[in-house]
Structure 1
Amino acid sequence: MFDWENIRYFLAVARTGTLSGAARSLKVDHATVSRRLSALEGEIKTRLIERQPKACKLTPIGQRVLELAQEMEEGAYAIERFLDASRSPLSGKVTLSAPPMLVANFLVKHLTVFRHANPGVQLSVSGETRQVSLSRREADVVLRLTRPEEPTSVVRKLGRVTFGLYASKDYPHLHDPSAWEFIAYDAGFVGVSQQKWLMNIAGKRPIACEISDINGHLVAARAGAGVAGLPDFLADTDAKLQRVPYDGEAFSRDIWMAVHEDLRRSPQIRAVMDFLLKVVAENPVFADNG
C-alpha cells in the first residue's frame, strides 16, 4: 500500500501545475515536494507527472489517479468532519479564514472576549484573500467579501463594509479634486470590484501609486501619497485622515460567512459562528441598510 502523504503531495502538484506552487500551498520546500512525488511514482512503478521546464503535466494515468485521489481525499475529510462534529462540546481547534483587513483591524480586537467565553476552543485565524476550500479542510469557517460558492457550504450574510474616499488632512490637493492623485491596486486586481469603483472615480486623473493590500493604502493615504478608497470602519476614526466627497456611486461589499454543511452543528464550530455573528451585528458600521 502506498503512502497517503505522497498522494497529498501529488494532489498539490496536480492542482497548482508546478512543484513550486505545490510547495507554497503545502508550506514546504521544493525539494520535499519533488522527493514525495518521486517516492509515490516509485511505489506504484508508474509515471504520473511529466516534469517540464515551467510546468508539470499529468500523464493519462496521472489524470485518472488524480480523479481517484480526489475521491479518497474527500472521503478522508468527510471522516474528519464527522469526528469533529461529534466531539465533546466546546473543545478543539477551529480555523477561521478571513480577509486580512478584517483580521488585522477588527477581529483581533475581539479574540480575548471569545477566549474567555470559550476556553476549550483554540481559534486559529488566518488573514487571506484566496478562496479556501471548506471541503478540503483548508478552513473550518470563512468570512469573505464575495459570496462563497462551494456547493457543500452553508452561507450566511452578516453585514456590509461601506467604502469612501480618504486623504491625509495635510494632503496639498485636499480641496482641489481636479488635482487629486489616486492610490490604486496593482495589476493583480484588474476586475476586482473595489479597483473598478476607484478607477471609475479617478477617470483620467493620475494614479500616484499601486499597492496590493488595503493596509498599505491606509498607510500611504496617511502619508499624503494621494486619495485612497478605504473601508469606512477603518478610516473614519483615523485622526490623520479626512473623508472627501466625490462624484460617483456609493460602494460597499457584503460580509459573508460560510461553513461546511457537515460541521455547522459542531459545538465548537457553532461557537465561532455565533461569535462572528455577534461581533459584526454589534458594530453599527457594518449594518446592512440596503
Structure 2
Amino acid sequence: MDWEDLRHFAAFVVGGSLSGAARRLSVEHATVARRIATLEEGLGIKLVDRRGRRLMLTPDGERVAAIAERMARETEGLSRLAQGARSELKGEVVISAPSAYAAALLARPLVALQRRHPDLRIRLLGEARLVSLEHREADIAIRLSRPEAGDLTAVKLGEMPFHLYADAAYLKETAAADWRFVGADGAMAGSPQQVLAEKIAAGRNFGLASDHAEIQLAFVRAGGGVAMLPDFMALSEPGLVRASPGEPALRREVWLVVHSDVKAAAPIRATVDCLKSHIGKHLEP
C-alpha cells in the first residue's frame, strides 16, 4: 500500500469532495480520484460509493477513513516538529491572508525580507477562506477574527476600520434613497461588513456583488454604487469618498496566527517578526 494513496484518501475525507481534497493538496481532482481508486484496488475493498451525484464513503470507507485520519495527524505532527527545529533561514514559508490586504500591505515587506534572506522562499496566498494551519495548508495566517480552536498562537496586530464608500460623482447624481449597493459574496457573504451593509441598505438594491474586495472596489470606482470597504483600500483611491461621513467605523480585529509547533523555527520567526513590525504601522490600535 502506498502512503500517498492513503494521504489523498484522507484529504478527500477531510475536504468532503474530490475538489476539496485537490485544493488541500494543490493537485488536480483527477489525481485524487486516481489515488483513491488505486488504494481501493490495493486493499481489495470499495471505499467510496460513486452511484450518487455526491461521493459517499462506504462502511469500509468509514473504517479506513478513521485510520487514515489518525495517520495523517501523526504525520503532520512529525512534520511540524521537524519544521519547528529548523534553525537556518532557508526553506519555504506559506502565508495566507485576505487577497486585498496581501496585495496592498504585505508584498513590499515580504520582498524586502526575501532579499535579505535569498534562501527563503515565500508563498503568499490571497484567499478569504480560513486555511488549516494544523493540516499545513499554510504556516502563517492573517485573519480578521481570533481563532477559537487548535494549538495555535495568535497575536492581535490592531484593528482595521471599514466605512461606506462611493464614487463622488455617483453620490452627486444619485439621491440616497436610490443608492445601489455593492455586496460581498462567496466566503465573504456573512462577513460583519456585509451584515452592516445590508442593515444600512434597508431593502435597497444590491445590484453587484463579488467575493473579492478588489472587485467590489472596482465596481464602486466605476460608479456601480456604494460598498463597505476597508479604509486602507478606499483612501488610496482618488475620487472615492465616504457615502455617510457621520457613520462610525466598523472595526475588525486583525490577527496573526501560527501553529504553536512551528513558531520557533527560524524562517517562521523571521517572517512573523517582519509582518508584525510592518502591519502594525497600518492599523489602528
Normalising by the residue count of structure 2, what TM-score does the alignment of the two structures yield?
A: 0.92
Give the distance between the partners of 2:35 and 2:44, measured in 1 at CA: 14
2:284 partner amino acid: A
In the alignment, is the contact (CA less than 8 A) between 1:18 and 1:54 conserved in 2? no
2:264 match? 265
Q: Trace 1:78-227 onto structure 2 (pairs within 5 A).
A: 78-171=77-170, 173=172, 176-186=175-185, 189-227=188-226
Post-superposition CA distance 1:105-136 (Å, at most 9, x none): 21113222222333332211111111111111
Give the drift of 1:187: 6.4
Cα distance in 2 for residues equivalent to 1:237 and 1:43 = 58
The secondary structure found in structure 1 opposite 2:169 is coil
Shift of the alpha carbon at 1:15?
2.5
Show structure 1 runs of 5+ residues with no match: none
| Cα shift at 1:142 | 0.7
SS state at 2:156 partner: strand
Q: Percent identity?
A: 36
Q: Is the 8 A contact 2:186 2:210 kept in 1?
A: no
Matched ranges for 1:61-72 at <5 A: 61-72=60-71
Equivalence for 1:51: 50
* Counterpart position of 2:5: 6
Tell me, in whole angstroms, the C-alpha distance in 1 between the residues paired with 2:219 and 2:91: 40
Q: What SS is found at the alignment partner of 1:170?
A: helix
CA offsets 1:185-206 (integer angstroms, 9 cap, x no match): 2366443211101111111222
Cα distance change of structure 1 residues 141 and 187 upon mapping to structure 2, 3 Å threshold: closer
The residue type paired with residue 147 of structure 1 is R
Distance 1:149 1:34 in 2: 33
Structure 1 residue 182: Cα displacement: 1.0
Deviations 1:196-240 (A, max 9, x none): 011111112222312221111111111111111110011112112
* Distance change in 2, residues 1:112/1:168 (3 Å): same
Distance 1:275 1:173 in 2: 43
> Which residue of structure 2 lines up, in the alignment, with residue 232 of structure 1?
231
Looking at structure 2, the residues matched to 164 and 20 of structure 1 have their Cα atoms a distance apart, in angstroms, of 36
Q: 2:134 touches 2:150 (CA, 8 Å); kept in 1?
A: no
What SS does the corresponding residue of 1:151 show, helix, strand or coil?
A: coil
Structure 2: 5+ residue stretches without partners: none
Question: Matches of 1:252 and 1:270 in 2, distance apart?
Answer: 28
Letter paired with 2:219: A
Deviation at 1:139, TM superposition (A): 0.6
Counterpart residue identity of residue 133, structure 1: S
* Cα distance, 1:247 vs structure 2: 6.4
Residue 287, structure 1, aligned to residue 260, structure 2: no
Q: Secondary structure at the match of 1:148?
A: coil
Structure 2 CA distance for aligned equivalents of residues 249 and 240 of structure 1: 21
Q: Number of residues paired by the alignment?
A: 285
Cα 1:267/1:174, change in 2 over 3 Å: farther
Counterpart Cα distance in 1 of 2:188 and 2:83: 36
Instruction: State the alpha-carbon separation in 1 of the partners of residues 47 and 126 from structure 2.
Output: 34
251 and 242 in structure 1: CA distance in 2 versus 1, 3 angstrom threshold? same
Q: Which whole-Å deviations, capped at 9, do the CAs of 1:48-85 have from their partners, x for residues lacking one?
A: 22113311211222212212211111111122112222
Counterpart AA for 1:43: G
Q: TM-score, normalised by structure 1?
A: 0.91
The residue type equivalent to 2:207 in the other structure is A
Q: Distance in 2 between matches of 1:282 and 1:130?
A: 25
Work out the CA distance in 1 between the residues paired with 2:198 and 2:245.
13
* Residue of structure 2 in register with 1:28 after alignment: 27
Instruction: Return the offset for 1:102.
Output: 0.9
Q: CA RMSD in A?
A: 2.0
The CA deviation at 1:89 is 2.5
* Alpha carbons of structure 1 residues 71 and 89: separation in structure 2 relative to 1, 3 Å: same
Shift of 1:171: 1.1
What is the distance in 2 between the residues matched to 1:187 and 1:93?
29
